[in-house]
Amino acid sequence: EANDKGYFVKNKEGNDNFQGWCWPGDSNWVDYLNPEAASWISRQFHLDKYNGSTPNLFVWNDMNEPSVFNGPEISMDKDIKHHGGWEHRDLHNIFGMLYHKATADGLRTRESPNKRPFVLSRAYFAGSQRYGAVWTGDNAANWEHLRASIPMVLSNNVAGMHFAGADVGGFFGNPTPELMTRWYQLGIWYPFFRAHAHIDTKRREPWVFGEPYLSHIRSAIRERYRLLPYWYTLFREASLTGMPLVRPVWMEFPQETSMFSEDSSFMVGSAIMVIPATDADTSMPIDVRLPTQENWYDIRSHAAYIGPLKRQFATDLATTLVFARGGSIIPTRERHRGSSELMRRDPITLYVYVSQTGTATGRLYLDDGETYNYQNGAFIERELSFENAKLTSRPSVRTASSPAQLEFLKAMSKVRVERIVIVGMRNPLTKAVVVENGQTRTIELSYAGHKLDSECTIRDPAVLVGNDWEVTLS
């Protein structure tokens, strides 16, 4: 059908289809520069066209640079012809992006109402961030490539390619159990997180490595799931402002000129600093530099450190160095589930990491995760603020009443905040007064102050994520 309609890229004379070799063998390529051809290939992804397809089947565009095994530089000849008489040399860099766009359009329109697509692409260009995820290509299972993945993913994020990651474990070769564990511990902080390997490598599912590696990898994956509310809120911010999800340290601390060359540690949003372990000697101490005059908290133990700080931290294979920045509020979901779909109506936990001035701010964004109803206001976006020992939740300036918003609030009406954890409060606390919808209730506390307790936990304040509320500590 594509041949009959003239939808393939032509040879340099423009009188026949360009032919080359790729994984299927002798191949032709759809000319995505032709709007009719792009629309045609998009329709091939519709459920009535794509044999065996289902609404939860998504797509990976591989080899779409395009990769041509018998072509110059393993790609298309530069003088072959595209729609409108353009030579390939003029549009090579956008070919993969147009390929990605056509696939995403097909998945988006295969159902009514439309749903968001997921398309992973190997080739990309400016604009590809609108269509799906990308990754850094065929890496190798060695420590050098583990380390190299950090500046690569950071560079992509600074350039606007936010949904980016690297193959966890390395594509070529066979990782040692130690390398595989460390790569998972780093990989959970890539915006796009997946393990992937060449077909000829050995099996590398986490359970293949046995203990203690299995438990360490499981803990890392659970940490990723636990922080999905924070990640989703960052994706929302990126979609509106273009701010990277993962950021070089200099982006958050431009006054720290001595850290401009730092590319082994990085920020996840503005609230979390990650210092990954990337050395084959898993017992080697790690140099840590915490910038600025601020509190930093170990995200697990809640041990507090005051910046600026430069010191070594002892590590073992179970240790990951991740710090929450003082002045941040981080939303989580703490219940272990088999998928994010099963977490959708789980309660929220809020971690309040108090700054040196006793304040903190954060944001929580939720929508249905599938449709485009958020464009009509079907979302919850809360501005969270902690000051003078009072935590408040208020709607963002983008929140507006609409039929779609009211319907979404109804669907989320049972989703509550099940726990608030305050880290870094100096004074002892005995009670929390909760005010929601004009109703007041008191929760007893037993917090002895930060010198004796690492955290003050308010259990089941029972406030709803979509409501205005405040919690005052005394």
- Both tokens of residue 355? 């700054």
What residues contact 179, with CB distance under 8 A and at least 6 apart?
A: 141, 142, 143, 146, 169, 170, 280
Question: CA-to-CA distance for 109 and 303, rounded, in angstroms?
Answer: 49
Question: CA-to-CA distance for 185 and 177, rounded, in angstroms?
Answer: 12
Instruction: Provide the b/e sequence for 341-364 (b: ≥16 CB within 10 Å).
Output: eebbebbbbbbbbbbeebebbbbb
Amino acid at 251: M
Report the chain's C-alpha Rg in angstroms. Answer: 25
Q: Beta strands 429-436 and 469-473: pairing type? A: antiparallel
Q: DSSP letter at 202?
A: P
**Which helix H or strand E contains 364, and what residues bound it?**
strand 360-366
φ and ψ at 435, to 5 degrees? -125, 120
List Cα–Cα distances, 322 to 47, 186, 303, in angstroms.
43, 10, 11
8 A C-beta contact, residue 351 and residue 423: yes
**Which helix H or strand E contains 151, and what residues bound it?**
helix 143-158
Question: CA-to-CA distance for 180 and 198, rounded, in angstroms?
Answer: 15
Given the residues 65, 237, 252, 367, select the one marked as catalytic.
65
Angle, in degrees to the nearest 10, between helices 35-43 and 88-108 = 40
Active site residue 62: yes
Taking residue 414's Cβ as centre, other Cβ atoms within 10 Å add up to: 10
* Cα–Cα–Cα angle for 365, 150, 309, rounded to 5 degrees: 85
8 A C-beta contact, residue 153 and residue 165: yes
φ and ψ at 137, to 5 degrees? 95, -165
List Cα–Cα distances, 94 to 17, 66, 104, in angstroms.
20, 10, 15
Three-state SS at 26: strand
Given the residues 138, 144, 287, 387, select the one marked as catalytic.
138
Given the residues 36, 62, 90, 316, select the one marked as catalytic.
62
What residues contact 135, with CB distance under 8 A and at least 6 apart?
A: 120, 122, 164, 165, 166, 167, 192, 194, 196
Active site residue 73: no
Active site residue 368: no
* Residue positions annotated with a catalytic role: 62, 65, 138
